[in-house]
Amino acid sequence: MLRATPLLALALATTSLAGCTGQIGGDPPDDGTSESSMCVVDTPIRRLTRFEYNNTVRDLLGDLTEPASIFPPEEEVQGFDNQAAALTVSDLLAEQYMKAAEGISERAVADLPALLPDCDVATSGEDTCALHFIETFGRRAFRRPLDGSEVDRFKALFDVAIDDPDMGTFEEGLALVLQAMLQSPHFLYRPEFGGADPVDGDVVKLSDWEVASKLSYMIWNTMPDEQLFAAAEAKELSTKEQVAAQARRMLQDDRARDGIKNFHRQWLRLVYLDTVSKDTTVYPAYDDGLRDLWRQEIEAFIEHVIIDDDAKLGTLLSAPYSFLNAELATFYGADAVGPAPEGEELVKVSMDPTRRAGLITQGALMAVHAEGNQSSPVFRGKFVREQLLCQSLPLPPANLVIEPPPLDPSKTTREQFEEIGNNPDCSGCHSLMNPIGFGFENFDGIGLWRDTQNGKPIDSTGEITATDSLDGTFAGPVDLAGKLAASSEVAECVSSQWFRFSYNRTVTQDDACTLDEVNEVFADSGYDLRELVVALTQAETFLYRHQVVVEGGAP
């Protein structure tokens, strides 16, 4: 429902997609070629991100060196780094692919028995073992069986090395094959062509191998395991039920933790933790070591809620527990209740339920969304609007001098920001941010609880406005967290973020049917995040695509 405030144009819930991005690359489904009634939007071809590349060579070769970490950062789209439309390849990246492949292959052939466990060159001969390697390793590297011409091409490259007196060894031959495979589009990208026969209009079903990769990169952010490959081989990724069963199995695997943490690092912008810096004259309890501890805390909490606890979004946003070690317990002081943890390991600790609720009251988010020397109702309100409600805020007016108020020992931060909010130049946006951000005023700029500031009592009452269903006043951070935790609007925002992360693209108008379906399942499950992930694998847009239209043959 639209309302007539300046935000209104901007505060649409995710299901109303007027003015959204339209076509996301790929082959347009609405160009007259599509007669399908199915809910299918294609995604541009996906290139592996640095994170996925590192995970993939880890699982493919046991290479733990994280060679992709030196690649240039991914071009982001709306905060996510795995968006197909933005992942292009520069000269620099092509060169780094080459060098990374050289390093990986050198390490791999140094341990030949591990690389080629089931072929003995001494008894079977080099040619046989090379072919065996190309077929077995190639199937895992390309995440599907190689066809005959591909095998021939890699064998020819192997022969180049064998026939060259400057190289000439079996290991050199395998190394070149490995390098070529690791720079191949079949390794670096995740192509999806689908089958030959349309099921409805021009919509085709993805192959079992394509579904295996799609599942593994979505849930694990890495290549499929042997079970997925075996299922693909046996054509057991063909029905929705089979896909759901695999997705559920995968969510129980440790690799799902990687994917879940990767999603939350991006959704919650935890990367900003790296550059947090606080004025220690204002915050003597702060030292830079806290940044990494806060990160560990929030990641451990998220993992626990989604994998080990009930996976409910409400739990994520309001659970009265966290994960602390001795140093974090000291930091939180009386807010951590029960026996204090000892040592460096993070353990589950109950938190004072009148002060702490879920991830948004944790040190990580409270410290990131603050200034170096004071809290920031603006940043905190903005975070709730943008990341939890998926609303966009207008830009500040051009050429306006924007500055945080200087510290004033006679006032509370809230009093100072209320003055900004009353300035007519600023009130348009600040009336949307500040009244929510004030709810966190019990937390100072590093996330420590306070009842007073500068001798005055903290007022952490606030109000949510300009939402479909969440409008109203609240009293303090726990009350605010509870309202957010119970809100279907927040839940639908979260599902749209998972959509973007999982499908590697933004939401288009044509995705309303998918989101409606996914949101219904999500709601019926009591907003169970594991069920949300499974629901995303059940959508037609996950399992199908429009047939590729090849224009004019080879370029």
> What is the C-alpha to C-alpha distance for residues 402 and 420, in angstroms, rounded to an integer?
10
Give the residue among 402, 399, 400 at the shortest CA–CA distance from 378.
402
C-beta of 495: minimal distance to other proteins in Å?
12
In the complex with other proteins, which residue's Cβ is closer, 160 or 230?
A: 160
476: left (phi over 0), alpha (psi -120 to 50) or beta: left
In the complex with other proteins, which residue's Cβ is closer, 123 or 399?
A: 399
DSSP-derived letter for residue 95 is H
In the complex with other proteins, which residue's Cβ is closer, 361 or 497?
A: 497
Q: Which residues contact 537 (CB under 8 A, 6 or more apart)?
A: 215, 218, 243, 244, 247, 543
C-beta of 234: minimal distance to other proteins in Å?
26
C-beta of 201: minimal distance to other proteins in Å?
16
For the chain, the farthest-separated pair of C-alpha atoms sits apart, in whole angstroms, at 86
In the complex with other proteins, which residue's Cβ is closer, 256 or 458?
A: 256
C-beta of 401: minimal distance to other proteins in Å?
5
DSSP-derived secondary structure for 395-453:
PPPTT----PPPP-TTS-HHHHHHHHHHSHHHHHHHHHHHHHHGGGTTB-TTS-B-SEE
What residues does 80 pair with on adjacent strands?
Answer: 77
Q: Which residues contact 110 (CB under 8 A, 6 or more apart)?
A: none
In the complex with other proteins, which residue's Cβ is closer, 75 or 120?
A: 75
* Cβ(119)–Cβ(128) below 8 Å: yes
Give the residue among 404, 382, 379, 384 at the shortest CA–CA distance from 393.
382
In the complex with other proteins, which residue's Cβ is closer, 85 or 317?
A: 85
C-beta of 41: minimal distance to other proteins in Å?
13
> What is the C-alpha to C-alpha distance for residues 485 and 320, in angstroms, rounded to an integer?
12
C-beta of 183: minimal distance to other proteins in Å?
5
> What is the C-alpha to C-alpha distance for residues 531 and 301, in angstroms, rounded to an integer?
19
In the complex with other proteins, which residue's Cβ is closer, 310 or 459?
A: 310
C-beta of 69: minimal distance to other proteins in Å?
8
In the complex with other proteins, which residue's Cβ is closer, 214 or 355?
A: 214
C-beta of 239: minimal distance to other proteins in Å?
27
In the complex with other proteins, which residue's Cβ is closer, 400 or 475?
A: 400
Give the residue among 370, 400, 374, 373 at the shortest CA–CA distance from 382.
370
C-beta of 466: minimal distance to other proteins in Å?
13
Give the residue among 251, 222, 259 at the shortest CA–CA distance from 80.
259
Tokens for 341?
């943890």
